[in-house]
Every structure is written in C-alpha cells, then in structure tokens.
Amino acid sequence: MDQILEGIGLALTWQSLLAVVLGVAAGQVLGAIPGLTASMAVALLIPYSFYFDPWVGIPMLLGMFKGSLFGSSVTAILIRTPGTPAASATVLDGYPLAQAGKGAKAVKMALYSSVFGDTFSDVCLIFFASALALVALQFGPAEYTLLIVLALGSLGMLSSRPIWKGLVATLVGVMIGIIGLDPITATERLTFGNPELEEGIGLIPMLIGFLAVSEVFRQMGGSNSDLSAQAMRYSSRREDNRVSWLEFKGCIPVLFRSSAIGTAIGSMPGLGSTVAAFIAYGEARRTSAKPEQFGKGSLEGVAAPEAANNAVSGANLIPLLAFGIPGDIAAALILGALMVQGVTVGPLAFSQNPLPIYAIYAALILANFVNLGLGFALLRVARFAFSVPRRLLLASVLVVAAAGSYALRGSIFDVQLVFVFGVAGYLMMRFGFPPVPLLIGFILMPLLEENLRTVLLLSSTYDQHILFVFERPAFLALLALMSSAIAFVVWRRRRRA
C-alpha cells in the first residue's frame, strides 16, 4: 500500500499536473489537424520530454496521447475531416449531427465517451493488466483472421442499402490495400513500375481524400447563400447544444460495450484504435433499439467509436506494462521514452520496482480528467475557428489536409493521391457507394493477408490440415462468442418483428 501511495505521489505533483495539462492541450490541437496522428503527436513531443524530470516528461507524453485522440474527433464531427484515422468512424453520425446544428452536442458526447472509454480501459489496466495480457497472448493468426473477416463482412453489410454497394466498396478497399510489395515474396503488386507505390498507398491520403476532400467537392456545388454563410451553424436551442442526463444514460450500455471492445482489441498487439472504433460502431448499430438512426445522427453512433478508440489507448499499455511489448506505434514510442528516462516495464517491474508503474497509472487517470476539462475549451476554439464563411473553410480544408498528408512521408505523390481519392470519393457518393467500408477494407487488408498467410504456413509447416484452427481453444471461444452474438441479434429482430 505504501508503494502504491508513493508511486501515485510521484505523478501528483504540481509540475506533473502542469505537464499533463500542457500535453493534453497540445495533443488536442495537434490531433485536430488532419494528417497528424496520435503517434506523430507523441513523436513530436518526445525530444522535448527529455529535458524534463521523468515524472514531468512521461505524464506529458501520456496526456498528449490521450488529448490527440479526442482532438481528432472535433474536426471529424464538425467538418467531416478526421484528424487521425481513429476518428473516421465518428464521422458517420457526428457529421450528420453537426449538419443539423447539433455539432456542440455531438462534440460533447464524443468528449464524455472518450473520457469514459479512457477511464474504463485505465481501470482494466490497473486491476487486470497481467490477466488480460495473458488472454491476449492466446490470440494467434487464426483468431485475428476470424475477427477481421467477420468485422469486414458485418461492417460492409451494415453500412449501406442496397447491401451490395457496401460489400463492393469493402472489396475495392481490399484491392487498393493490395498495392505495393508483397510482404512475403517482395513481388511488386499493381505498382506498374511506379516506385512511389512500392510502399503501398498511405492511409492518411486515403482517409483525407475519401472523407474530407470528397465532401469539400460535394459542398462546392451548394448555393451562393450557403457558401457565403458561416461554415458551422449551431442551433439556438439549449437541448441541441448539450447532452442531457437522459441522453447520456441511454448511451451507457453502448459505452460499456464499446469500451470493453476497445480494451479487448487494445490489449492485442497490432489491431489498433481505428479497427476498434469500426467494430464498436458496427456492434452498437447491430444491437441498437433504433438502428435506422445510425448514419443519420445517432448519439449512440458517436458514443460507440469514441469510447472504443480511446479505450484502446489505455489497453495498448497492457502488453507494454505487463510484458514490455508495445501494442502499437504510439505505445512503442512511449516505451522508448520510458527507457530513455530509465523507467523499466515488463513482468519484473511489477515485483522489483513497481513505483513507476503506479505513477503511470496515476498520470493516466489524471490525464482523463484534464482531457474532460480542456475538451470544452477546444470546442469553444473550434466554434470560433469554424465561424468563417463556408467557402473559405472548404478551400482551407483542402490545403491544410494536403499539407498534413505531405508531412507524413514528405512526398508530393501523397498530395496528388489526396485529390485523386477525393474525386473517387465524390463519384462514389454520387453513385450511392459508401466510402467508409472502402476505408475499412483498406485498413484491414494487410492484417488479414498477413494472418491468413501465417495460418496457411503454420498448417503446412506442421503437416497439419487447415482445420487445425479448430483445435485452438481461443479460436473456438471467439467463434462461439461471435456466433452467439449473431444468434442473439437475429433472435431479437425476429422477436421485435
């Protein structure tokens, strides 16, 4: 107990509190800029963190990581431009709410959900880190493959009517994900000799092109009065600018489910917050009492992806703290910063020197509260920034977004891709194809292919049949869990009908 209090004391000084405030504020602003991901925000801050005491620098990094995830949702909701890929699913219902003058309500729901998801996963991290990490390590390529195939299928089917357009969009995304060097044989795939394509298509140009630029192109066709009016309109009704207790209460089951999904996915290295957000969104839509409102401005549709993508951030630290294995790039950067600051993590740290672990826990919880407080300030700044005429905002989104996509790889080709994908996204919208399943297909394609190939290699290496996957308890458990979830939804729909 003394050690716990001493560890918490390390992170609860005024210096570390100030560091968390600065980190969260910087993270929220950087996260809101399209193209600058949470990992990039953390990477930008790492060099500065070395100048500080470890218990000032590390809380600052953790705060920045959390702040950037919420910041990215603000632009996703208000101008359909996700600051980071993790906020792509928030666009689906956040933007329709903003178009209806309820942008402030949507942002506040995103803020509450982000903090809820963050806190949920931090509590899981604190109490179940070792146990969760052990479960997560049971997940092998067969389980990942099953999870991804089901996620692709269900999200493709749920995202559009008629269903075939959503599925075709998903498969087009898969095809775009194939472009680049084959991960095993290094054979060029669909690059046609263009060296810029050998690394594959970047996720940021895809996201910015299909979501933000296509929307700008669509809105350019508006009337003169629309284009000269303020970019964001807010309803004057009080209830459209706040989340009532009843509304929040209605979302609590979704928040718990989505946070659990985010925590489970975050504890498995490699999947990441974007995947968690889309899976949670699909699950929330499937189990909702009002699924027809999804995609048209459902608060549950904002709460689910936000809770899930933030829950990943805490859960990503589970394999990091328990085994020293980072769950994603941001966690790897945090590991690097911890190592340079002389802080050891991993199984031995829990028994030999647990003080830093408790200090990290305290800093994580502290960052959640700071995120909540500063989130309202960011909303005010965003309301001011987006009060310019719509035509100026639309043109500005194009140049800021293109600069963000250039920043990642320093390639003009990426800038060009942003606009090519923007045109493609615009045409897709005109013909009724949803762009989001395409992005999901693209994001999950490398993971799916890598895991499927590993499964096949494993089955041949050990001279086993592919059915060896059914001998894996984790695979069977996952299959049973998913089958029962689908059966439950079918049963509930029939009962309702």
Partner 1 sequence: MTTFARARGEIALLALLLLADAMFYFVVIPVGIADPDDFGLDQGLPPSFSARVAAILMAVIMAIRLVHLLVTPAVAQAGDEASNSQESENAIRNIGGIAGALAFAFGLVPVLGYYLGGVCMVATLVAVMGERRWSYLLWQPAAVMGFIWLLFDQVFSIELPVGLLFGS
Q: Note whether 433 binds partner 1 by CB under 8 A.
A: yes
Which residue among 171, 229, 349, 482 contacts partner 1 (CB under 8 A)? 171
Q: Note whether 485 binds partner 1 by CB under 8 A.
A: no
Which residue among 228, 387, 464, 484 contacts partner 1 (CB under 8 A)? 228
Percentages (nearest 5) of helix, strand, coil residues in the chain: 80, 0, 20
User: Computed over its alpha carbons, how large is the radius of gyration of the chain?
Assistant: 22
What's the Cα-to-Cα distance from 492 to each of 77, 154, 495, rounded to whole Å?
Answer: 31, 17, 5
Q: Note whether 149 binds partner 1 by CB under 8 A.
A: no
Taking the C-alpha atoms of residue 70 and residue 117, their distance in angstroms, rounded to an integer, is 11
For residue 180, give the H/E element and its range: strand 180-181
Taking the C-alpha atoms of residue 91 and residue 79, their distance in angstroms, rounded to an integer, is 9
Which residue among 2, 14, 51, 223 contacts partner 1 (CB under 8 A)? 223
Q: Note whether 164 binds partner 1 by CB under 8 A.
A: yes
Min CB(92)–partner 1 separation in Å: 11
Q: Note whether 222 binds partner 1 by CB under 8 A.
A: yes
Nearer to partner 1 by Cβ, of 69 and 179: the residue is 179
For residue 337, the number of C-alpha atoms closer than 13 Å in the C-beta half-sphere is 30
Mark out the alpha helices in 324-354 (DSSP H runs).
329-340, 347-352
- Pick the stretch among 81-89, 176-184, 253-261, 275-283 that binds partner 1 (CB under 8 A): 176-184
Beta-bridge mates of residue 336:
none
Nearer to partner 1 by Cβ, of 149 and 329: the residue is 149
Min CB(243)–partner 1 separation in Å: 25
Q: Which amino acid is at 378?
A: L
Contact set for partner 1, span 50-79 (CB under 8 A): none
For residue 159, the number of C-alpha atoms closer than 13 Å in the C-beta half-sphere is 30
Q: Which two tokens stand for residue 233?
A: 């309109």
Min CB(162)–partner 1 separation in Å: 5
Q: Note whether 232 binds partner 1 by CB under 8 A.
A: no
Contact set for partner 1, span 403-422 (CB under 8 A): 403, 406-407, 410, 412, 415-416, 418-420, 422
Question: DSSP assignment, residue 271?
Answer: -
Nearer to partner 1 by Cβ, of 245 and 431: the residue is 431
Closest CA to 133 of 340, 346, 310: 346
Contact set for partner 1, span 435-464 (CB under 8 A): 445, 449, 452-454, 456-457, 460-461
Which residue among 332, 400, 482, 485 contacts partner 1 (CB under 8 A)? 400
Min CB(433)–partner 1 separation in Å: 7
Q: Note whether 46 binds partner 1 by CB under 8 A.
A: no
Q: Note whether 188 binds partner 1 by CB under 8 A.
A: yes
Q: Note whether 210 binds partner 1 by CB under 8 A.
A: no
Nearer to partner 1 by Cβ, of 104 and 158: the residue is 158
Instruction: Kindly write down the DSSP assignment for every residue of 8-72, as one continuous string.
Output: HHHH-SHHHHHHHHHHHHHHHHHHHSTT--HHHHHHHHHHHHTTS-HHHHHHHHHHHHHHHHHHH
Q: Note whether 182 binds partner 1 by CB under 8 A.
A: yes
Size of the site for partner 1 (CB under 8 A): 74
